[in-house]
Amino acid sequence: MQPINILVWNCRGIVNRETQHALVDLVRAKRPSLIFLAETLAQPNIIDSLTGRLGFKGHICFAQDNEVQSQGVALIWNHNLHANLRSYSPNHIDADISQAPGEPALWRFTGIYGVASRTERRHTWDLIESLAAEPCSLPWIMAGDFNEIISNLDKSGGAPRAEAPMLRFRQTMTNSGLYDMGFVGSRFTWSNKHTKERLDRSFQNMLWQTCFPFSRVITLNPSDSDHVPLLVEVRQDNAKQTKPPRRFRFEEMWHGDERCQKIIQQNWSTPLTGNALQQLSTKIHATGVELLQWHNV
């Protein structure tokens, strides 16, 4: 299978002209084959028009004719993929992905828009566990805005988050056989004037990790939305590079540097889902990436 990019973004209203321009620019730069949008604030005719403007082939969207339009979610795909809908709601779109209509599914994608109200957030966890309980033998990836953090290390500024809702999030993903794919780039995906948090992320099951071991999640640059887009690179093989990648080596000069110690402490104390080996691999990768980024600044 050829490498595929998935763009995941809580766009905070795709009816906005500037936001549409930003999406068009992202598609030109990153060339995704699949796009999941949350909080579109748009009716189906707007998503249909946007699909054509992007040069994509098909879409699935959910919106209701009420005051908030259920915020809205949409899944859009181009000509080298086809999405066969499994289920959808105001807070998710679940689909089997194939290369063409009628062909066997290659993998399963679920886009999530978590319930924003803290008192109602249990509905997100119940939804995820119900999706995980469905019979499915495909590699599975789940990505989107979960409207919750896994630990207070994913938060900067503001009052610390209570432990109970974060624990419920972690338990839900573990019970569902899904674990965090980590990230390359900024830790934080949402911000306001006083607070930054990592609300947007991607999870995979074990079969996905086996079939697409070189996949990764990249936090893209800030946008007009208060959420930054995520780019999920779906890779079976290591991408060929024009020059050998730089191997991570711990430099003696870093020893004792407070920033170095903070990076290591944050990554190794962050609670993750998955078994011990998966957690170890994710933490080593995340620590190395952040240390190299810090060193190169």
**pLDDT value at residue 63:** 77
Give the model confidence (pLDDT) of 222-243 as tens digits.
777 899 999 999 998 876 544 4
**pLDDT value at residue 296:** 52
**pLDDT value at residue 68:** 46
**pLDDT value at residue 154:** 93
pTM of the model: 0.81
Angle at 270 between CA 236 and CA 253, to 5 degrees: 90
**pLDDT value at residue 143:** 98
| Sequence ranges of the chain with CATH classification 3.60.10.10 | 4-240
Query: Is residue 67 predicted with pLDDT exceeding 50?
Result: no
Confidence band, pLDDT 50/70/90 cuts, at residue 97:
very high
Query: Regarding the domain delimited by 4-240, which CATH topology (the fold level of the hierarchy) does it fall under?
Result: Deoxyribonuclease I; Chain A (3.60.10)
Give the model confidence (pLDDT) of 73-93 as tens digits.
999 999 999 999 999 999 999
Average pLDDT for the chain: 86
* Over residues 114-130, mean pLDDT: 93
Query: Is residue 9 predicted with pLDDT exceeding 50?
Result: yes
**pLDDT value at residue 260:** 74
Q: What percent of the chain clears pLDDT 70, i.e. is strictly above it?
A: 84
Q: What percent of the chain clears pLDDT 90, i.e. is strictly above it?
A: 63
> Three-state secondary structure along the chain?
CCCEEEEEEECCCCCCHHHHHHHHHHHHHHCCCEEEEECCCCCHHHHHHHHHHHCCCEEEEECCCCCCCCCCEEEEECCCCEEEEEEEECCEEEEEEECCCCCCCCEEEEEEECCCCHHHCHHHHHHHHHHHCCCCCCCEEEEEECCCCCCHHHEECCCCCCHHHHHHHHHHHHHCCCEECCCECCCCCEECCCCEECCEEEEECHHHHHHCCCCEEEECCCCCCCECCEEEEECCCCCCCCCCCCCCCCCHHHCCCHHHHHHHHHHHHCCCCCCHHHHHHHHHHHHHHHHHHHHHC
Give the model confidence (pLDDT) of 248-269 as tens digits.
555 655 666 677 777 777 777 7
* Over residues 271-291, mean pLDDT: 68
Query: CA-CA distance, 109 to 208, in Å (whole number)?
Result: 11
Give the model confidence (pLDDT) of 141-175 as tens digits.
999 999 999 999 999 998 888 999 999 999 999 99
Give the model confidence (pLDDT) of 49-65 as tens digits.
999 999 999 999 987 65
